[in-house]
Structures are given as structure tokens and as C-alpha cells.
Amino acid sequence: MKSLKNWIFGTLAHNRVNSVLGFSVMALLLAAIYLTRDATNLDEYLLIDEESPPQCDLFSGKWVFDHKFAPSYNDQQCSFMTDDYACQKFGRNESIYQHWRWQPHDCDLSRFNATTLLEKFRGKRITFVGDSLNKNQWTSLLCLIESSIPPSERFVQWNGSLATFKTSQYDGVSIQFYWEPLLVESNCDDPAEHHVLERVINVHKIEKHAMHWKDADILIFDSFMWWLSPKMTVLQGSSQNSEEINNTVERTESYKMALKTWTDWLNLHVNQTKTQLFFMSFSPYHHTGEDWGKNSNTNCYNETEPILDEGFVGSGLDRGMIEVAENAVRELQSKGLKVQYVNITNLSDRRKEAHPSIYRKQWKPPTEKELANPSSYSDCVHWCLPGVPDIWNQLLYAYILQYT
């Protein structure tokens, strides 16, 4: 929990847990076997007809290790990669985590095809709106499509909170990321300087942000991690001058108010015929090995295998918050908006081994004490790329082919 709090406050993890990670000889043996196998390309992996819409619950399924299932890019080739997710570049010396494919119980997932997706995106504007986990997914998508566009025809431009991938190809499709970690306005809205000690959230205001993305054809939202802070001031005034400071509001309650502001705004301003909306469900974190039968001082650091138990539910999942998000999406659907809840929570919850842990850029160099105890500065929130967010995009792809 200590470590989670640090993440919430935006600083890199500096939890002081003293951990002695027990290691499993079995995992080590398996690792050795997997590493000696030659990974071939995903292309060999022929799945179902790309045009068929999702007909089953894509989110209920299992992770299957498959050495033939290999990513179509690597962290050093992708020109849009950032040091936060480049685990191999930062010394992760095994890549088993890149070879697990998601197998829904009742159907097969379409293979991700960048050209097919770009054809669907032709001339459109796609915007990811949210926090660094959504940025993680946006980065994954850019890496997945990069090789389908000539190098001189692709670049990313930042302007304030908005990052835009542009190309002259596919009728000038643009794929954007907009930094808005709490969806409504807050003192964490600066895309670079958001490491504040106490969050101040304006639960009834969204316009300042929404004007930047309201015309997009496809909007992909997420907002969850930033709500888990124990210390938040919630402003409930509707105008700058009549702000009423109220920090007694419990987080589920403030999340509900913010999502109401969000749904009301979309309801009024989004063109229902044109815009397709997606809401990415909560991306789980792995801050205590206790969840999978290890010592409470351990975390995602040194983990090399997913949890195969399909009933696994980590301690980080806040059922109340998840319900608020599910209800907000249902509310939009009842109003006739085209919106899909992308339920990645349970499937990602089993991927304890797929976080960067210590294999990422440390924006603040670890202290001697931290170095002696690597789990103390491990990132168990974001995800290595290639990795789990590629699967989220594969799920998104299934829906985009169906809806647009």
C-alpha cells in the first residue's frame, strides 16, 4: 500500500518494504526452456476471419504460453517507445512475458492486422484520453502500426497536453493522446508537472479538456489509478468564484461525481452518429506478492510467470470503483451513445510478471538502500512493451472492426 501511495503521488516508487524474494526453481527451469526456443512471428498464428465481430465474451478466457506468438516490434526498434516501458533496453534479460497470448473461452481473437486497422482509420482522428496507462496503450498502438507506414511519413508532435501521431498516409489519419488523468479538471493536468502533494479535483468541470478532443471519431478513455490517492480535495463549485471546498467526499463518491460530469458532457456534445467511444477498465497493479502466496514484502519484481488460476482476484481491485465505471458506461449506452467497456481488469490482473519493475528509466536514481532491495523501487503499475497493452489493443481492434 505504501508503494501504491507513492505511485499515486506521481513520484517513482520509493516504498520501503524490506523484501527477500523467494525464487522458484521451477520458474527458473521453465525460463531456461522457454529462452532456448526460437520465437517465430505472430504471422504464423492464423486465427479467425478478421471481419467477424466479437460474438462472445472476449474478456473471459486464459493466458496460453506459445513460443510462436511473438510481438511484431521490439522496444529498441519502435521509434515511439519511451524509456518508461522499454524493459529489454533497461536490462530485463528474459522475454517470456512476450509470448503469452490471450485465449477467450468461447471464441478466438482476431489477429491484429495494422493495415486493416489503418484502412478503418482512414482520414479519421482517434484520441486516447486519460493517464499514463492510456499513454502506455497509445504507445503500444503506435509501435504496432509503425511498420505499415514509411519512416518519412510518420511523426509525433506534442502541443500542451495533446500528443499527435501524424502521417500523410491513409488520408492523414491521426492517433492522439491527451493527458487528463482524472477526466475532470484538477491540479494534475500539466502533462509534465503533475507531481503534486495533494490533489485538488474540480469534479464538475471538464470543458477545458473536452474542447481538445470532442471532435474525434474514436475516443478511448481511462481513469482510475489517480483516484486511489488517500488525500484529495474535491471542489464542487460550478464556477471559479463559488467553489466550495469539500474534502470529506470519499473517493468512490468523488469518482462517481466526476464520471457523471463526463457522461453528461458526452451526452450533450458528442455526435452520436459519428463518434465511437471506449472506456478501458481499471488496469491492475501488483504491489504485494501476498496476493499470489508469497511474502507480503515481495511484489512484481523478479516475477517471470503469469498467474494461471482463472479465478484470481488481486487485492488491488476496488469493486466499488469498478461498479461506478461500469454504471457510467451503461448510462451512456442507455442514452444511445456508441460506447464499449473494454474489460481488461481480470485478464491483466493475472499478469504479475509483465510490469517494468526495475527495468525502466529511473527518473530519480535509486538510493543505495533501494538498490539493495530492488522491489522497493519497482514499477508494478505500468506495463513492459511489447506486452500486455498490445493485447488490450488487440481487443480494441476486435471492437473497432465491428463498430466502425
Single residue of 317, 327, 333, 338 touching ligand NAG by CB under 6 A: 317
User: Should residue 1 be labelled a site residue for ligand NAG when binding is judged by CB under 6 A?
Assistant: no
Question: Of 186-194, 220-228, 247-255, 380-388, which segment contacts ligand NAG by CB under 6 A?
Answer: 247-255
At 341, the amino acid letter reads: Y
CB nearer ligand NAG, residue 156 or residue 322: 322
Instruction: Kindly state the DSSP code that residue 241 receives in the 8-state scheme.
Output: G
Q: What is the residue whose three cell numbers read 482524472?
A: 182
Between 158 and 195, CB nearer to ligand NAG = 158
- Name the grid cell of 324: 461506478
Q: Which stretch binds ligand NAG (CB under 6 A): 108-116, 169-177, 183-191, 387-395?
A: 108-116
Q: Which of residues 323-342 bind ligand NAG (CB under 6 A)?
A: 326, 341
- In the set 132, 148, 223, 348, the catalytic residue is 132
Nearer to ligand NAG, 137 or 345 (CB): 345
Q: Which residue is nearest to ligand NAG (CB)?
A: 21
Nearer to ligand NAG, 10 or 54 (CB): 54
Letters for 351-380 (x = contact with ligand NAG by CB under 6 A, - = none) are -----------------------x------
Q: Is residue 135 within 8 Å of residue 177, measured between CB atoms?
A: yes
> Does residue 75 have an active-site annotation?
no
- β-pairing, 174-179 vs 125-130, is parallel
- Tell the smallest beta-carbon distance from residue 150 to ligand NAG (Å): 17
User: Rounded to whole angstroms, how far apart are CA atoms 175 and 164?
Assistant: 6
Report d(CA 171, CA 189) in Å as an integer. 31
Q: Which of 165-173, 221-229, 314-322, 378-386 is the region at the interface with ligand NAG (rule: CB under 6 A)?
A: 314-322
Site for ligand NAG contains 90 (CB under 6 A): no
Say which of 222, 349, 379, 390 is annotated catalytic: 379
Closest CA to 393 of 60, 102, 1, 149: 102
How distant is the alpha carbon of residue 109 from its chain centre? 19
Give yes or no for a contact between 269 and 214, defined as CB atoms under 8 angstroms apart: yes
- Compute the distance between CA of residue 160 and CA of residue 288 in angstroms, rounded to an integer: 36
222 contacts 280 by C-beta, under 8 angstroms? yes
Q: Is 41 in the site for ligand NAG (CB under 6 A)?
A: no
Is 110:46 a contact under the CB 8 Å cutoff? no
In the list 43, 153, 171, 207, the residue contacting ligand NAG (rule: CB under 6 A) is 43
- Residue 113 as a binder of ligand NAG (CB under 6 A): the answer is yes
Identify which of residues 137 and 298 has a Cβ nearer to ligand NAG in the complex. Answer: 298
Taking Cα atoms as reference points, which of 364, 361, 382 lies closest to residue 88? 361
Using rule CB under 6 A, residue 319 touches ligand NAG: yes
Annotated catalytic residue 222:
no
| Helix intervals (H) in 104-231 | 114-121, 132-146, 207-210
Q: Which residues are catalytic?
A: 132, 379, 382
